[in-house]
Chains A and B, each alone.
Chain A
Amino acid sequence: MRALLVLLLALAPAPTPAALGEGAGKVFLTPEEALKLAFPECEIERRTEYLSEAEELRIESLARVELAGRVVRPYVARKHGELVGTAYFDAHRVRTKNEVLLLVIGPDERLKRVEVLSFAEPLEYLPRANFYAQFSGQRLDDELDLKHAIRGVAGASLSANAAAAAARRALAVQHVLAERATAVPGASAAVR
Protein backbone atom coordinates (compact mmCIF):
# COMPACT_ATOMS: atom_id res chain seq x y z
CA MET A 1 0.00 0.00 0.00
CA ARG A 2 2.82 2.35 0.82
CA ALA A 3 4.14 1.98 -2.68
CA LEU A 4 0.92 3.47 -3.98
CA LEU A 5 1.48 6.67 -2.10
CA VAL A 6 4.41 8.58 -3.39
CA LEU A 7 4.41 11.41 -0.97
CA LEU A 8 5.75 14.60 -2.29
CA LEU A 9 5.18 17.17 0.36
CA ALA A 10 3.54 15.53 3.32
CA LEU A 11 2.48 18.03 5.95
CA ALA A 12 4.14 20.71 3.99
CA PRO A 13 4.06 24.45 4.39
CA ALA A 14 1.20 26.15 2.68
CA PRO A 15 1.58 25.31 -1.00
CA THR A 16 2.09 28.15 -3.37
CA PRO A 17 -0.59 28.98 -5.92
CA ALA A 18 1.72 27.59 -8.59
CA ALA A 19 2.04 24.33 -6.71
CA LEU A 20 -1.72 24.18 -6.26
CA GLY A 21 -2.21 24.55 -9.95
CA GLU A 22 0.33 21.95 -10.96
CA GLY A 23 -1.06 19.66 -13.62
CA ALA A 24 -3.83 22.07 -14.60
CA GLY A 25 -6.36 20.32 -12.37
CA LYS A 26 -8.92 21.97 -10.20
CA VAL A 27 -7.92 24.65 -7.71
CA PHE A 28 -10.70 25.27 -5.24
CA LEU A 29 -9.17 27.57 -2.64
CA THR A 30 -5.80 29.12 -1.93
CA PRO A 31 -4.25 28.09 1.38
CA GLU A 32 -4.72 31.60 2.72
CA GLU A 33 -8.41 31.54 1.84
CA ALA A 34 -8.86 28.11 3.38
CA LEU A 35 -7.21 29.15 6.64
CA LYS A 36 -9.26 32.33 6.91
CA LEU A 37 -12.46 30.40 6.34
CA ALA A 38 -11.59 27.65 8.79
CA PHE A 39 -10.50 30.07 11.50
CA PRO A 40 -12.46 33.31 11.19
CA GLU A 41 -11.35 36.15 13.42
CA CYS A 42 -8.47 34.07 14.74
CA GLU A 43 -4.80 34.74 15.08
CA ILE A 44 -3.04 32.10 13.02
CA GLU A 45 0.54 31.24 13.83
CA ARG A 46 2.60 29.28 11.38
CA ARG A 47 4.93 27.10 13.38
CA THR A 48 7.87 25.00 12.28
CA GLU A 49 8.43 21.90 14.34
CA TYR A 50 11.55 19.78 14.06
CA LEU A 51 10.89 16.17 14.94
CA SER A 52 13.40 13.88 16.55
CA GLU A 53 14.05 10.52 14.98
CA ALA A 54 12.08 8.90 17.80
CA GLU A 55 9.15 11.23 17.16
CA GLU A 56 9.26 10.52 13.46
CA LEU A 57 9.16 6.79 14.15
CA ARG A 58 6.34 7.24 16.64
CA ILE A 59 4.30 9.22 14.13
CA GLU A 60 4.88 6.63 11.42
CA SER A 61 3.92 3.91 13.84
CA LEU A 62 0.71 5.69 14.87
CA ALA A 63 -0.23 6.74 11.37
CA ARG A 64 0.97 3.61 9.61
CA VAL A 65 2.12 5.85 6.78
CA GLU A 66 5.47 7.40 6.04
CA LEU A 67 6.44 10.95 6.79
CA ALA A 68 8.32 12.77 4.07
CA GLY A 69 10.66 14.42 6.54
CA ARG A 70 11.20 15.59 10.08
CA VAL A 71 9.98 19.12 9.58
CA VAL A 72 6.27 19.73 10.04
CA ARG A 73 4.39 22.98 9.91
CA PRO A 74 1.18 23.25 11.90
CA TYR A 75 -0.92 26.40 11.60
CA VAL A 76 -2.19 27.11 15.09
CA ALA A 77 -5.34 29.23 15.40
CA ARG A 78 -6.30 31.07 18.57
CA LYS A 79 -9.13 33.38 19.40
CA HIS A 80 -8.75 35.62 22.43
CA GLY A 81 -5.86 33.39 23.48
CA GLU A 82 -7.92 30.18 23.35
CA LEU A 83 -6.84 27.41 21.01
CA VAL A 84 -9.44 26.97 18.30
CA GLY A 85 -7.69 24.38 16.19
CA THR A 86 -4.63 23.39 14.24
CA ALA A 87 -4.41 23.07 10.48
CA TYR A 88 -2.09 21.03 8.32
CA PHE A 89 -1.66 21.08 4.60
CA ASP A 90 -1.02 17.68 3.11
CA ALA A 91 0.20 17.53 -0.46
CA HIS A 92 0.42 14.07 -1.92
CA ARG A 93 0.36 12.29 -5.20
CA VAL A 94 -2.88 10.49 -6.04
CA ARG A 95 -2.17 8.71 -9.30
CA THR A 96 0.36 10.71 -11.25
CA LYS A 97 -0.62 14.17 -10.05
CA ASN A 98 -0.99 16.08 -6.83
CA GLU A 99 -3.80 16.68 -4.42
CA VAL A 100 -3.59 19.22 -1.61
CA LEU A 101 -5.82 18.81 1.41
CA LEU A 102 -6.44 21.07 4.36
CA LEU A 103 -6.94 19.09 7.57
CA VAL A 104 -8.22 20.88 10.65
CA ILE A 105 -7.85 19.25 14.04
CA GLY A 106 -9.70 20.53 17.09
CA PRO A 107 -8.26 20.99 20.57
CA ASP A 108 -9.72 17.56 21.42
CA GLU A 109 -7.48 16.00 18.73
CA ARG A 110 -10.50 15.19 16.60
CA LEU A 111 -10.62 15.82 12.89
CA LYS A 112 -12.87 18.79 12.28
CA ARG A 113 -12.52 19.43 8.58
CA VAL A 114 -11.07 17.84 5.48
CA GLU A 115 -11.14 20.16 2.48
CA VAL A 116 -9.72 19.73 -0.97
CA LEU A 117 -7.71 22.76 -1.99
CA SER A 118 -6.57 21.41 -5.32
CA PHE A 119 -6.90 18.20 -7.25
CA ALA A 120 -4.85 17.80 -10.39
CA GLU A 121 -6.25 14.43 -11.43
CA PRO A 122 -9.52 14.24 -13.35
CA LEU A 123 -12.32 14.93 -10.87
CA GLU A 124 -13.80 11.44 -11.29
CA TYR A 125 -10.82 10.20 -9.27
CA LEU A 126 -12.09 12.03 -6.21
CA PRO A 127 -13.58 9.58 -3.72
CA ARG A 128 -17.33 9.26 -3.75
CA ALA A 129 -19.38 10.79 -1.00
CA ASN A 130 -19.80 7.75 1.20
CA PHE A 131 -16.06 7.34 1.63
CA TYR A 132 -15.99 10.34 3.95
CA ALA A 133 -18.73 8.99 6.19
CA GLN A 134 -16.38 8.28 9.08
CA PHE A 135 -14.00 11.22 8.78
CA SER A 136 -15.90 13.75 10.77
CA GLY A 137 -14.92 13.90 14.41
CA GLN A 138 -12.42 11.03 14.17
CA ARG A 139 -9.56 10.62 16.56
CA LEU A 140 -6.46 8.66 15.71
CA ASP A 141 -7.06 5.05 16.55
CA ASP A 142 -7.43 1.78 14.73
CA GLU A 143 -10.74 2.90 13.30
CA LEU A 144 -9.20 5.59 11.15
CA ASP A 145 -8.06 3.14 8.60
CA LEU A 146 -9.24 2.03 5.20
CA LYS A 147 -9.57 -1.54 6.35
CA HIS A 148 -11.72 -0.58 9.28
CA ALA A 149 -14.02 2.38 9.70
CA ILE A 150 -12.75 4.27 6.69
CA ARG A 151 -13.41 2.14 3.69
CA GLY A 152 -11.98 2.35 0.25
CA VAL A 153 -14.18 3.17 -2.68
CA ALA A 154 -14.15 1.32 -5.95
CA GLY A 155 -13.01 3.56 -8.76
CA ALA A 156 -11.49 6.10 -6.45
CA SER A 157 -9.30 3.92 -4.27
CA LEU A 158 -6.10 5.84 -4.91
CA SER A 159 -7.54 9.14 -3.75
CA ALA A 160 -9.40 7.41 -0.92
CA ASN A 161 -6.16 5.84 0.28
CA ALA A 162 -4.36 9.14 -0.04
CA ALA A 163 -7.00 11.05 1.90
CA ALA A 164 -7.09 8.47 4.69
CA ALA A 165 -3.30 8.51 4.87
CA ALA A 166 -3.28 12.30 5.07
CA ALA A 167 -5.81 12.23 7.90
CA ARG A 168 -3.85 9.65 9.84
CA ARG A 169 -0.60 11.55 9.27
CA ALA A 170 -1.97 14.86 10.48
CA LEU A 171 -3.63 13.29 13.53
CA ALA A 172 -0.45 11.41 14.42
CA VAL A 173 1.71 14.52 14.12
CA GLN A 174 -0.73 16.46 16.23
CA HIS A 175 -0.76 13.72 18.86
CA VAL A 176 3.02 13.51 19.08
CA LEU A 177 3.40 17.28 19.30
CA ALA A 178 0.83 17.29 22.08
CA GLU A 179 2.75 14.54 23.88
CA ARG A 180 5.90 16.63 23.56
CA ALA A 181 4.14 19.64 25.05
CA THR A 182 2.99 17.52 27.97
CA ALA A 183 6.42 16.04 28.56
CA VAL A 184 8.30 19.30 28.30
CA PRO A 185 6.22 22.22 29.61
CA GLY A 186 6.61 25.16 27.32
CA ALA A 187 7.69 23.14 24.32
CA SER A 188 5.24 23.17 21.41
CA ALA A 189 2.69 24.66 23.74
CA ALA A 190 0.96 26.25 20.80
CA VAL A 191 -0.63 22.98 19.79
CA ARG A 192 -2.14 22.30 23.20
Chain B
Amino acid sequence: MRLDLNKMEPMWPASLLAVALLAPQELPARVERRLSAMGTWLELEVRAADRPAALVASEAAVRAIEAVEARLSTWREDSELARLNRAPVGSALLLSPELAADLARAQGFWRASEGAFDPGLGALVAAWGLRSGGREPSSVELEAARAVGGFAAFELDGRRAVRRHASAAIEEGGFGKGVGLDAALSALRTAGVIEARLDFGGQLATLGAPCTCALADPRARARPVLELSFPTGSLATSGNSEHGILVAGERRGHLLDPRSGAPAEDFGSLSVWAADATAADCLSKLYVLGPDGALRWQAAHPEVELIVLVPKGQRLVARATSGWRGRLRALVPELELSFAEERTARAPEPQPAPADR
Protein backbone atom coordinates (compact mmCIF):
# COMPACT_ATOMS: atom_id res chain seq x y z
CA MET B 1 0.00 0.00 0.00
CA ARG B 2 1.37 3.37 -0.90
CA LEU B 3 0.76 6.27 1.36
CA ASP B 4 1.33 9.21 -0.91
CA LEU B 5 2.65 11.96 1.29
CA ASN B 6 2.19 14.42 -1.52
CA LYS B 7 -1.50 13.74 -2.01
CA MET B 8 -2.48 13.71 1.62
CA GLU B 9 -4.10 16.69 3.12
CA PRO B 10 -1.88 18.19 5.74
CA MET B 11 -3.18 16.93 9.04
CA TRP B 12 -1.91 19.53 11.41
CA PRO B 13 -4.58 22.15 10.75
CA ALA B 14 -7.25 19.56 11.50
CA SER B 15 -5.48 18.61 14.69
CA LEU B 16 -5.25 22.18 15.78
CA LEU B 17 -8.91 22.64 15.01
CA ALA B 18 -9.81 19.58 17.03
CA VAL B 19 -7.86 20.88 19.98
CA ALA B 20 -9.47 24.26 19.69
CA LEU B 21 -12.95 22.76 19.77
CA LEU B 22 -12.31 20.89 22.98
CA ALA B 23 -12.88 22.57 26.27
CA PRO B 24 -9.78 22.42 28.48
CA GLN B 25 -11.26 19.85 30.81
CA GLU B 26 -12.01 17.63 27.81
CA LEU B 27 -8.49 17.64 26.47
CA PRO B 28 -7.08 14.15 26.37
CA ALA B 29 -4.37 13.37 28.86
CA ARG B 30 -0.79 13.14 27.69
CA VAL B 31 1.82 10.84 29.19
CA GLU B 32 5.49 11.07 28.31
CA ARG B 33 7.94 8.34 29.22
CA ARG B 34 11.62 7.76 28.64
CA LEU B 35 13.18 4.42 29.39
CA SER B 36 15.70 1.91 28.15
CA ALA B 37 14.37 -0.82 25.90
CA MET B 38 15.88 -3.23 23.39
CA GLY B 39 19.33 -1.89 24.00
CA THR B 40 18.43 1.66 23.17
CA TRP B 41 16.35 4.56 24.42
CA LEU B 42 12.60 4.71 24.00
CA GLU B 43 10.61 7.91 24.24
CA LEU B 44 6.86 7.65 24.21
CA GLU B 45 4.27 10.36 24.09
CA VAL B 46 0.77 8.96 24.43
CA ARG B 47 -2.55 10.80 24.46
CA ALA B 48 -5.65 9.09 25.73
CA ALA B 49 -8.94 9.95 27.34
CA ASP B 50 -7.39 10.32 30.78
CA ARG B 51 -4.03 9.85 32.46
CA PRO B 52 -4.69 6.34 33.82
CA ALA B 53 -5.68 5.18 30.33
CA ALA B 54 -2.60 6.82 28.80
CA LEU B 55 -0.38 5.19 31.41
CA VAL B 56 -1.83 1.74 30.84
CA ALA B 57 -1.53 2.14 27.08
CA SER B 58 2.05 3.35 27.31
CA GLU B 59 2.95 0.33 29.41
CA ALA B 60 1.29 -1.96 26.86
CA ALA B 61 3.57 -0.44 24.24
CA VAL B 62 6.64 -0.91 26.45
CA ARG B 63 5.71 -4.53 27.15
CA ALA B 64 5.20 -5.16 23.44
CA ILE B 65 8.72 -3.93 22.77
CA GLU B 66 10.08 -6.01 25.64
CA ALA B 67 8.43 -9.07 24.10
CA VAL B 68 10.12 -8.31 20.79
CA GLU B 69 13.42 -7.93 22.61
CA ALA B 70 12.96 -11.27 24.34
CA ARG B 71 12.37 -12.82 20.92
CA LEU B 72 14.98 -11.04 18.79
CA SER B 73 17.86 -9.82 20.91
CA THR B 74 21.10 -11.58 20.06
CA TRP B 75 22.76 -9.76 22.96
CA ARG B 76 21.14 -12.34 25.22
CA GLU B 77 21.51 -16.07 24.88
CA ASP B 78 17.94 -16.96 25.78
CA SER B 79 16.16 -15.22 22.92
CA GLU B 80 14.50 -17.29 20.24
CA LEU B 81 16.65 -15.72 17.53
CA ALA B 82 19.82 -16.49 19.51
CA ARG B 83 18.68 -20.11 19.66
CA LEU B 84 18.16 -20.15 15.91
CA ASN B 85 21.68 -18.76 15.46
CA ARG B 86 22.99 -21.70 17.52
CA ALA B 87 20.85 -24.35 15.85
CA PRO B 88 22.72 -27.35 14.45
CA VAL B 89 23.47 -26.95 10.77
CA GLY B 90 20.94 -28.74 8.64
CA SER B 91 18.41 -29.31 11.41
CA ALA B 92 14.98 -27.81 11.07
CA LEU B 93 13.83 -25.57 13.91
CA LEU B 94 10.16 -24.79 14.48
CA LEU B 95 9.84 -21.04 15.01
CA SER B 96 7.16 -19.26 16.97
CA PRO B 97 4.57 -17.63 14.72
CA GLU B 98 5.93 -14.24 15.79
CA LEU B 99 9.56 -14.94 14.88
CA ALA B 100 8.49 -16.60 11.66
CA ALA B 101 6.55 -13.45 10.76
CA ASP B 102 9.49 -11.20 11.69
CA LEU B 103 11.91 -13.17 9.54
CA ALA B 104 9.46 -13.42 6.66
CA ARG B 105 9.20 -9.64 6.60
CA ALA B 106 12.95 -9.21 6.79
CA GLN B 107 13.31 -11.75 4.01
CA GLY B 108 10.89 -9.75 1.87
CA PHE B 109 13.01 -6.60 2.19
CA TRP B 110 16.20 -8.59 1.64
CA ARG B 111 14.78 -9.80 -1.66
CA ALA B 112 13.27 -6.46 -2.65
CA SER B 113 16.61 -4.76 -2.07
CA GLU B 114 18.49 -7.52 -3.88
CA GLY B 115 20.55 -8.09 -0.78
CA ALA B 116 21.46 -4.48 -0.02
CA PHE B 117 19.56 -5.02 3.23
CA ASP B 118 20.76 -8.30 4.66
CA PRO B 119 19.82 -9.35 8.20
CA GLY B 120 22.14 -12.35 7.98
CA LEU B 121 25.37 -10.45 8.51
CA GLY B 122 26.36 -12.10 11.79
CA ALA B 123 29.57 -13.61 10.37
CA LEU B 124 30.67 -10.26 8.94
CA VAL B 125 29.79 -8.43 12.15
CA ALA B 126 32.00 -10.88 14.03
CA ALA B 127 34.80 -10.57 11.49
CA TRP B 128 34.85 -6.79 11.83
CA GLY B 129 34.43 -6.96 15.60
CA LEU B 130 31.52 -4.53 15.51
CA ARG B 131 30.38 -5.58 18.97
CA SER B 132 33.78 -5.20 20.51
CA GLY B 133 35.06 -1.90 19.22
CA GLY B 134 36.20 -2.93 15.76
CA ARG B 135 39.09 -4.79 14.15
CA GLU B 136 40.51 -5.27 10.69
CA PRO B 137 39.79 -8.80 9.50
CA SER B 138 42.43 -10.53 7.44
CA SER B 139 41.57 -11.18 3.83
CA VAL B 140 41.12 -14.84 4.68
CA GLU B 141 38.77 -14.02 7.55
CA LEU B 142 36.80 -11.62 5.38
CA GLU B 143 36.41 -14.10 2.57
CA ALA B 144 35.34 -16.77 5.03
CA ALA B 145 32.69 -14.46 6.47
CA ARG B 146 31.45 -13.53 3.00
CA ALA B 147 31.34 -17.17 2.02
CA VAL B 148 28.77 -17.81 4.74
CA GLY B 149 26.25 -16.26 2.41
CA GLY B 150 24.39 -13.86 4.68
CA PHE B 151 20.67 -14.39 4.90
CA ALA B 152 20.86 -16.94 2.08
CA ALA B 153 22.39 -19.30 4.63
CA PHE B 154 18.95 -19.65 6.22
CA GLU B 155 16.12 -21.57 4.67
CA LEU B 156 12.76 -20.30 5.79
CA ASP B 157 9.55 -22.10 5.03
CA GLY B 158 6.67 -20.85 7.11
CA ARG B 159 7.57 -21.66 10.70
CA ARG B 160 10.36 -24.00 9.70
CA ALA B 161 13.91 -22.65 9.62
CA VAL B 162 17.12 -24.42 8.66
CA ARG B 163 20.58 -23.01 9.18
CA ARG B 164 22.91 -24.01 6.37
CA HIS B 165 26.29 -22.82 7.60
CA ALA B 166 28.03 -23.13 10.98
CA SER B 167 28.82 -19.41 11.07
CA ALA B 168 25.44 -18.21 9.81
CA ALA B 169 23.84 -15.74 12.19
CA ILE B 170 21.00 -13.25 11.88
CA GLU B 171 21.57 -9.79 13.32
CA GLU B 172 18.45 -8.10 14.64
CA GLY B 173 20.15 -4.72 14.44
CA GLY B 174 18.90 -4.16 10.92
CA PHE B 175 15.21 -4.65 11.64
CA GLY B 176 14.58 -5.16 15.37
CA LYS B 177 13.75 -1.57 16.23
CA GLY B 178 11.22 -1.46 13.43
CA VAL B 179 9.57 -4.67 14.58
CA GLY B 180 9.49 -3.28 18.13
CA LEU B 181 7.91 -0.03 17.01
CA ASP B 182 5.25 -1.83 14.98
CA ALA B 183 4.46 -4.02 17.98
CA ALA B 184 4.21 -0.94 20.18
CA LEU B 185 1.92 0.85 17.73
CA SER B 186 -0.29 -2.22 17.52
CA ALA B 187 -0.53 -2.33 21.31
CA LEU B 188 -1.41 1.36 21.43
CA ARG B 189 -4.14 0.93 18.83
CA THR B 190 -5.57 -1.99 20.76
CA ALA B 191 -5.57 0.15 23.88
CA GLY B 192 -7.63 2.77 22.07
CA VAL B 193 -5.01 5.46 22.05
CA ILE B 194 -5.97 8.68 20.32
CA GLU B 195 -2.50 9.88 19.46
CA ALA B 196 1.01 8.65 20.05
CA ARG B 197 4.52 9.50 19.02
CA LEU B 198 7.48 7.23 19.58
CA ASP B 199 11.19 7.83 19.24
CA PHE B 200 13.07 4.56 19.47
CA GLY B 201 16.77 5.18 19.28
CA GLY B 202 16.22 7.83 16.64
CA GLN B 203 13.60 6.01 14.59
CA LEU B 204 10.29 7.84 14.78
CA ALA B 205 6.76 6.53 14.48
CA THR B 206 3.50 8.33 14.84
CA LEU B 207 -0.09 7.32 15.36
CA GLY B 208 -3.10 9.55 14.83
CA ALA B 209 -1.16 12.79 14.64
CA PRO B 210 1.47 14.25 12.34
CA CYS B 211 5.07 14.17 13.38
CA THR B 212 7.38 17.11 12.85
CA CYS B 213 11.07 16.59 13.41
CA ALA B 214 14.45 17.70 12.18
CA LEU B 215 17.18 15.78 10.43
CA ALA B 216 20.62 16.26 11.86
CA ASP B 217 23.66 17.47 10.00
CA PRO B 218 25.60 14.27 9.20
CA ARG B 219 28.76 16.18 10.13
CA ALA B 220 27.44 17.38 13.50
CA ARG B 221 24.62 15.36 15.00
CA ALA B 222 23.50 18.05 17.41
CA ARG B 223 22.75 20.48 14.60
CA PRO B 224 19.30 20.32 12.96
CA VAL B 225 19.42 21.17 9.26
CA LEU B 226 16.15 20.09 7.68
CA GLU B 227 12.71 20.12 9.23
CA LEU B 228 10.17 17.66 7.95
CA SER B 229 6.72 16.45 8.78
CA PHE B 230 4.85 13.28 8.02
CA PRO B 231 1.24 12.46 8.86
CA THR B 232 1.61 8.81 9.75
CA GLY B 233 4.05 5.93 9.48
CA SER B 234 7.68 5.84 10.50
CA LEU B 235 10.97 7.51 9.65
CA ALA B 236 14.33 5.77 10.05
CA THR B 237 17.73 7.26 9.33
CA SER B 238 21.02 5.52 8.64
CA GLY B 239 24.39 7.16 8.70
CA ASN B 240 27.78 6.72 10.18
CA SER B 241 28.06 9.92 12.16
CA GLU B 242 26.92 8.55 15.51
CA HIS B 243 28.34 5.06 15.42
CA GLY B 244 31.58 3.83 14.01
CA ILE B 245 34.60 1.72 14.75
CA LEU B 246 38.29 2.40 14.89
CA VAL B 247 40.24 0.01 12.70
CA ALA B 248 44.02 0.40 12.70
CA GLY B 249 43.58 3.98 13.85
CA GLU B 250 41.17 4.76 11.03
CA ARG B 251 37.54 5.53 11.69
CA ARG B 252 35.23 3.25 9.71
CA GLY B 253 31.49 3.19 9.45
CA HIS B 254 29.47 0.56 11.28
CA LEU B 255 27.17 -0.11 8.33
CA LEU B 256 28.46 -3.12 6.45
CA ASP B 257 27.81 -3.47 2.75
CA PRO B 258 26.65 -7.07 2.31
CA ARG B 259 27.89 -7.06 -1.27
CA SER B 260 31.52 -6.28 -0.43
CA GLY B 261 31.59 -7.39 3.17
CA ALA B 262 33.28 -4.08 4.07
CA PRO B 263 31.97 -0.96 5.81
CA ALA B 264 29.83 1.07 3.41
CA GLU B 265 31.29 4.23 1.98
CA ASP B 266 30.39 7.15 4.20
CA PHE B 267 28.35 9.71 2.26
CA GLY B 268 26.13 11.40 4.84
CA SER B 269 22.74 10.11 5.84
CA LEU B 270 19.72 8.37 4.36
CA SER B 271 16.28 8.82 5.86
CA VAL B 272 13.46 6.52 4.84
CA TRP B 273 9.78 7.02 5.46
CA ALA B 274 7.45 4.03 5.15
CA ALA B 275 3.93 3.25 6.22
CA ASP B 276 5.21 0.86 8.85
CA ALA B 277 8.28 0.92 11.03
CA THR B 278 9.75 -2.43 10.01
CA ALA B 279 9.87 -1.31 6.39
CA ALA B 280 11.47 2.02 7.30
CA ASP B 281 14.07 0.30 9.48
CA CYS B 282 15.03 -2.34 6.91
CA LEU B 283 15.07 0.04 3.97
CA SER B 284 17.20 2.64 5.72
CA LYS B 285 20.01 0.12 5.16
CA LEU B 286 19.82 1.04 1.48
CA TYR B 287 22.46 3.49 2.66
CA VAL B 288 24.99 0.98 1.39
CA LEU B 289 23.82 1.70 -2.17
CA GLY B 290 24.98 5.29 -1.89
CA PRO B 291 22.73 8.31 -2.54
CA ASP B 292 22.22 7.68 -6.25
CA GLY B 293 21.65 3.98 -5.80
CA ALA B 294 19.13 4.50 -3.03
CA LEU B 295 17.20 7.07 -5.04
CA ARG B 296 17.21 4.80 -8.10
CA TRP B 297 15.83 1.99 -5.95
CA GLN B 298 13.03 4.23 -4.70
CA ALA B 299 12.01 5.16 -8.23
CA ALA B 300 10.74 1.60 -8.60
CA HIS B 301 9.28 1.52 -5.09
CA PRO B 302 7.16 4.64 -4.65
CA GLU B 303 5.57 3.25 -1.50
CA VAL B 304 8.52 4.64 0.44
CA GLU B 305 10.02 8.12 0.47
CA LEU B 306 13.69 9.00 0.88
CA ILE B 307 15.85 11.95 1.81
CA VAL B 308 19.60 11.84 1.36
CA LEU B 309 21.88 14.39 2.95
CA VAL B 310 25.32 14.70 1.42
CA PRO B 311 27.96 17.15 2.66
CA LYS B 312 29.81 18.83 -0.23
CA GLY B 313 32.49 21.01 1.22
CA GLN B 314 30.76 23.78 3.13
CA ARG B 315 27.45 22.98 1.47
CA LEU B 316 24.93 20.35 2.43
CA VAL B 317 22.98 18.81 -0.42
CA ALA B 318 19.55 17.36 0.37
CA ARG B 319 17.83 15.25 -2.26
CA ALA B 320 14.28 14.17 -1.53
CA THR B 321 11.74 12.04 -3.35
CA SER B 322 8.51 13.60 -4.57
CA GLY B 323 6.36 12.69 -1.59
CA TRP B 324 8.24 15.20 0.51
CA ARG B 325 7.11 18.21 -1.52
CA GLY B 326 5.57 20.78 0.78
CA ARG B 327 6.80 18.95 3.86
CA LEU B 328 10.41 20.09 4.11
CA ARG B 329 11.95 23.28 5.41
CA ALA B 330 15.62 24.16 5.34
CA LEU B 331 16.93 25.24 8.72
CA VAL B 332 20.41 26.33 7.68
CA PRO B 333 21.49 28.59 4.81
CA GLU B 334 23.98 26.18 3.27
CA LEU B 335 21.37 23.51 2.64
CA GLU B 336 20.59 22.96 -1.04
CA LEU B 337 17.34 21.12 -1.43
CA SER B 338 16.20 19.38 -4.59
CA PHE B 339 13.72 16.72 -5.46
CA ALA B 340 14.88 13.56 -7.10
CA GLU B 341 12.98 13.85 -10.36
CA GLU B 342 14.01 17.35 -11.28
CA ARG B 343 17.60 17.28 -9.99
CA THR B 344 17.71 21.08 -9.97
CA ALA B 345 19.06 22.72 -6.92
CA ARG B 346 16.95 25.29 -5.23
CA ALA B 347 17.67 26.89 -1.96
CA PRO B 348 14.63 27.88 0.07
CA GLU B 349 14.88 30.96 2.16
CA PRO B 350 16.67 30.03 5.35
CA GLN B 351 14.44 29.96 8.38
CA PRO B 352 15.32 30.34 12.01
CA ALA B 353 16.26 26.99 13.42
CA PRO B 354 13.82 25.66 16.00
CA ALA B 355 15.03 23.52 18.82
CA ASP B 356 16.20 20.09 17.80
CA ARG B 357 13.72 17.38 18.47
- Supposing A28-B33, A116-B35, A136-B69 touch, asked if A129 and B41 sit within 8 A by C-beta, the answer is yes
Q: Is B155 an interface residue (CB 8 A)?
A: no
* B190 sits at the interface (CB 8 A): no
Q: In the complex, which residues 104-142 of chain A have their Cβ closer than 8 Å to any Cβ of chain B?
A: 113-116, 119, 124, 126-137
In-complex Cβ contact of A115 among B35, B38, B222 (8 A): B35
Q: Which residues of B contact A116 (CB under 8 A)?
A: 34-35
Q: In the complex, what residue of chain B is closest to A113 when comparing beta carbons? A: B35
A-contact bits for B54-66, CB 8 A (1 contact / 0 none): 0100110010000
A129 near B34: Cβ-Cβ < 8 Å:
no
A129 contacts B40, C-beta separation under 8 Å: yes
Closest to A127 in B: B41
Question: Residues of A contacting B55 with CB < 8 Å?
Answer: 29, 33, 36-37
Name the contact of A136 in the complex, choosing from B36, B200, B202, B356 (C-beta under 8 A).
B36
A114 to B, closest residue via Cβ: B36
In the complex, the chain B residue whose C-beta lies closest to that of A155 is: B222
Kindly state the separation between the CA atoms of A40 and B56 in the bound complex, as whole angstroms: 10
How many chain A residues touch B (CB < 8 A): the figure is 26
Nearest CB to that of B77 among chain A residues? A137
Q: Is the CB of B39 within 8 A of A136?
A: yes
* Chain A residues near B243 (CB-CB < 8 A): 130
Chain B residues with CB below 8 A from A28, complex form: 32-34
Interface positions, chain B 111-160, Cβ under 8 Å from A, are: none
A30 smallest CB distance to B (angstroms): 10
* Structural contact, A134 and B39, CB atoms closer than 8 A: yes
Within the complex, the shortest CB–CB distance from B95 to chain A, in Å, comes to 22
Q: What residues of chain B lie closer than 8 Å to A134, measured between beta carbons? A: 39, 75
Q: Which chain A residues border B75 with CB–CB below 8 Å?
A: 134, 136-137
Residues of A within 8 A of B93 (CB): none
Alpha-carbon separation in the docked complex, A119 to B41 (Å): 15
Chain A residues 62 to 85 lying within 8 A of chain B, measured CB to CB, are: none
A128 to B36, CA, bound (A): 11
Residues of A within 8 A of B201 (CB): 129-130
Nearest CB in chain A to that of B242: its residue: A130
Q: Point out the residues of chain A lying under 8 angstroms from B38, CB to CB.
A: 136
Residue of A nearest to B44 (CB): A28
> At the interface, yes or no: B327 with Cβ under 8 Å from chain A?
no
CA distance in complex: A119, B58 (Å): 19
Q: List 16 A–B pairs whose Cβ atoms lie within 8 Å, in order of A's numbering.
A: A26-B32, A115-B33, A115-B35, A116-B35, A119-B34, A124-B356, A126-B34, A127-B41, A129-B200, A129-B202, A132-B41, A136-B39, A136-B73, A136-B75, A137-B73, A137-B75
Nearest 10 pairs of A and B residues by beta carbon: A115-B35, A129-B201, A129-B41, A132-B36, A114-B36, A37-B59, A133-B39, A116-B34, A129-B40, A135-B36
Chain B positions near chain A (C-beta within 8 angstroms): 31-41, 55, 58-59, 62, 69, 73, 75-76, 200-202, 222, 242-243, 356
